[in-house]
Structure 1
């Protein structure tokens, strides 16, 4: 590959669009439970997790903080509310696309695009980083099952 090919590949990688409602899940340890990192264009913080429940909670807190994708219903609370998570505009893009695309997990990498948060759950798509396998989900449990299959596929292709 010559210098112009490298430059073109670099430009193509930098021009790829990553959705604002996407979460890049980089799985660094897999076994009884998953552990790794998550990245989003809406925050420059790396969201680390040691379990699937922590992964879901971290992402849900980010969505609540940014108001995108918006909750279908406000969560009930017996405590006095300080602020509301309702936001009716798209959040600011903090991290450029190419930074998200560069992130890779030690075991595998999966992209989750959350289209909505209706019926007290997430709906959207789960896909491989190269977009070779894209599957829709209607709940977090269904999403986790799809992720399990994709993790196995990535591990088989790596060996």
Structure 2
């Protein structure tokens, strides 16, 4: 975990879970590059909103450009180290009513995320968003 805190803290999401009912997960999400937390009523909302944050940061860079009939936000160019508002230590203080997870997004290839989930100092790797949701679901069932 420490290697990610020192090298890519802007790619980390602190996911604080307040309620869990099957795949219905609600709570708050934090990232060091945004000043406010993201309140979410569904895990898919976090994914969509964090994708926009990553697009704005330019890191991790998406491997594909979104196409739409509606005008969308500009995708910013790659940034090696986007500016941050808070340190990881401050983010780690946030806890959910049920659990808290740290998600590190290493890449966004093939229109999905690759990375790892940390819970109680154990690392779980995922290669798709669906894998990540399955990991979160199995960990939440144990909580």
TM-score under structure 2 length normalisation: 0.87
Correspondence for 1:99: 90
Relative distance call for 1:70 and 1:27 in structure 2 (3 A) is same
Correspondence for 1:24: 14
2:66 matches 1:75:
yes
- The size of the alignment, in residue pairs, is 137
Q: Which structure has the larger Rg over C-alpha atoms? A: 1
* SS of structure 1 residue aligned to 2:37: strand
Which structure has the higher relative contact order (CA within 8 Å, separation 6+)? 2
Correspondence for 2:139: 150
Aligned partners of 2:91 and 2:81: how far apart in 1? Answer: 19
Relative distance call for 1:126 and 1:77 in structure 2 (3 A) is same
What is the CA distance between 1:98 and its match in structure 2? Answer: 1.6
Please list every run of 5 or more consecutive structure 1 residues that lacks an aligned counterpart in the other structure: 1-15
Aligned partners of 1:39 and 1:82: how far apart in 2? Answer: 21
TM-score under structure 1 length normalisation: 0.78
2:54 matches 1:60:
no
